[in-house]
Amino acid sequence: MVQANLDRPIETVRENAFILWFDEVRSEDINLVGGKNSSLGEMIQQLKPKGINIPNGFATTARAYRYYIRETGLEPRLRGLFDDLDVNDIQNLQERGQQARSMILHTLFPKDLQDSIALAYKKMCREYGCNTGSYAEFDPEYRALCETPTRDLDVAVRSSATAEDLPEASFAGQQETYLNVRGIKGVLEACHKCFASLFTNRAISYRDRNGFDHFDVALSVGVQKMVRSDLASSGVMFSIDTETGFKNAALITAAYGLGENVVQGAVNPDEYLVFKPTLKTGYRPILEKRSGTKAIKMVYDLGGSKLTKNVEVPEPERQKFCLTDEEILQLGRWAMQIEAHYSRVRGVYTPMDMEWAKDGCTGELFIVQARPETVQSQKAENVLKTYALKERSPILSSGRSVGTAIGQGKAQIILSTSYLDRFQPGEVLVTNRTDPDWEPIMKQASAIVTNQGGRTCHAAIIAREMGIPAIVGCGDATEAIAPGREVTVSCAEGEEGRVYQGLLPFEVKETLLDNLPTTRTNILMNIGNPEQAFSLASIPAEGVGLARLEFIIANNIKAHPLALLHFDQISDRWEQAEIEKLTKNYPHKPDFFVDKLARGIGTIAAAFYPKPVIVRMSDFKSNEYANLLGGQNFEPHEDNPMIGWRGASRYTDPKYREAFALECKAMKRVREEMGLTNVIPMIPFCRTPEEGRRVLAEMSKQGLKRGVNGLQVYVMCELPSNVILAHEFAEVFDGFSIGSNDLTQLTLGLDRDSALVAHLFDERNEGVKRMVKMAIAIAKEKGVKIGICGQAPSDYPEFAQFLVEAGIDSMSLNPDSVLKTLLMVAEVEKEINR
């Protein structure tokens, strides 16, 4: 019998070994040690020398497992057990799974296999020694444990199946993991349990559903040095946006303690988004930092009866982010390196799913697992599928959306796996959280809603894999949704998923993106909500012609910028309390405005990078500003705010100048810190060229100097004076964007908000069209860009045709109008060229 070779077995005996060390295996060795362990070996050999920290260890081989079930007579008994398996019968599945696991757990390892595992563990103990030193100093209880004669090393014991982590099928979470395992007896028991976990109910069901023979799959066990993340934090990260498949962002989730809580969805973690292209060139592009509740953390159960336990996180710690900006960026760099390496190895782009941990004593970050992402990477790239609600109703609960689909059905509230048999196909599963034991019914659900979890939790991963919508981290779903109530689960409205009352009508559109025509007229897109930017980026547009700061300010910031600058002047105590809540992590309240605005702009700019993204500086009217928190204290009353103190007139006014400076700081951070130089700021409602020059001078004071670092500044062409003085405006700004709404109302002399004259509002009016045509002609004469970002070409195809014939450079349209207008413009240009 070939024993474990602790000194690197040569290739001729590798396949006969019971034990292989991680640094002896590569990614192609899935058949020897499973996907998880072969991936660890690949990274230790290829990426650890490049600075990525990966804990070492060893793996039992597939041969060890097959030897075990053959030599002990388990194989024929297990085969007989599965003769009448029916995975669609929950009771039958549960009975067969329980019997299979019991058989294995009551069948001892052969002595030679047992000795091989024990010898390898002893070598790990000798190599690493006990976790004394800084660990012991940090944790006196652990020091006492280390001073026992055995001086055993604490390890993680993880299952690794030989069919797992293939790009087309993820077996993640199908088998068990045991943390903080110590001593030879503990390691052997954990290995035994891992072997038995090859026949968990969810693993049996998953293999059956994906067409894998139960006895073609073998189980390898990885024994890896523990990272003391129980004293710090850990989490999951993807080198791709998990909801949209956007390839240029890395998603990182983090919570305190050991990582199982994040994987299982037991906590709502922090979430961070990092933009990879400019991170690679040395910038610091953290697009999003979302704080999770992080109510509990998993730690060592030192001196207790269990390996680990959950404890509450103190409230002050919950309010903080788990990671510093530098740590977020470091993990983002590692995600890029790992993705690039595996893409080279596989010869095809391979986004990755990784688990990381931070050592609470040394402060070091580690990658503890990596596998190919198996959902977005498998989607067809030539089909655009979109969902849209046609009606809305009262919202029963909301949380983090998973995917972009819509599902509906009767709500079935299940709080324990003991009641899985109550679930009927097509229902909406509502629960606290899921783990792999829930998978047999999850595949039958029309949607999934959970109280706990983040975008990388078990429920989210399985929902993506199955193509069904899920909303996680609702907090109150099991209480807010009545059992049996018909609901609609919508993930089609951005990052917030909503559970609506009733079965609402919705539509699904599929658009083939093959062979789309190329047009002279650039087709751009209007965007307000940064949360939808990544999904909208898949629509074939040449950039963004209008990104509105008002949406970010009203929905993400919610407070008036002057209220943040002069908090002590707010008279309403309720508004003061609300602003305190919003800015709780910002000692200097104006930093909250800059941070949120920069991240919102940055997300939209990143989605379309390196294509141009034209961002209109704030254009609230005074009555709209007054509706923001604290706004009543800083805004005048105007009888007609539509033509009052708005746009450029605010920016240099002493009463508002310091608030505009915050917008400039945010824009500067996007361009210089995040590296998103594709952003083009645009000035709205600029009445005269002189006013334009004053605004540019104010921007220059704030570090945004036109022409420096490629900075261009556009102006809205929405006033008759912008057209009449277009020659002069073209000397001040780099381009125009026609705002057809304001240009129409001011040309026709009507208030579009007045019901008495609203019927007269029409961009197709000949007077308006002459103004538009004049503006285009002058811009062409002066050699500056001119486009349109108003509603008209989205609503009226004939107006879009008029614009093409007039020679406009670009049209920026609502997302749902981009494709149909692109096709129409192609036809018009074809006719013009005949």
Q: Which residues are catalytic?
A: 458, 789
For 554-576, b where at least 16 C-beta lie within 10 A, e where not — what string?
Answer: bbbbebbbbbbbbbeebeeeebb
For 188-214, b where at least 16 C-beta lie within 10 A, e where not — what string?
Answer: bebbbbbbbbbbbbbbbbbbbeeebeb
Separation of alpha carbons 813 and 788, rounded Å: 9
Q: 345: buried, middle or exposed (CB in 10 Å: 19+, 13-18, 0-12)?
A: middle
Note whether 472 and 459 are within 8 A (CB). yes
Dihedral angle, C-alpha 41, 42, 44, 46, nearest 10 °:
160
* Strands, E assignment, 414-529: 428-431, 447-450, 470-472, 486-490, 496-501, 506-512, 522-527
Separation of alpha carbons 441 and 726, rounded Å: 64
* Strands, E assignment, 17-154: 19-21, 57-60
Cβ neighbours around 267 below 10 Å, total: 31
Query: For residue 221, which of 22, 372, 78 has the smallest C-alpha distance?
Result: 22
Query: For residue 789, which of 532, 611, 547 has the smallest C-alpha distance?
Result: 547
Tokens standing for 133?
């030193």
Note whether 390 and 507 are within 8 A (CB). yes
Residues 6+ apart with CB under 8 A from 212: 163, 169
Q: How far is CA 521 from each of CA 431, 714, 758, 825, rounded to the nearest angstrom? A: 50, 18, 31, 8
Separation of alpha carbons 96 and 100, rounded Å: 6
Separation of alpha carbons 821 and 793, rounded Å: 8
How many helices and strands (H and E) does the chain possess? 33, 30
Query: For residue 669, which of 585, 588, 595 has the smallest C-alpha distance?
Result: 595
The CA-based diameter of the chain, rounded to the nearest angstrom, is 95
DSSP per-residue codes, 180-239: EE-HHHHHHHHHHHHHHGGG-HHHHHHHHHHT--TTT--EEEEEEEPP-GGGSEEEEEES
Name residue 27's amino acid: S
Q: Per residue, what are the HEC states of 380-396?
A: CCCEEEEEEECCCCCEE
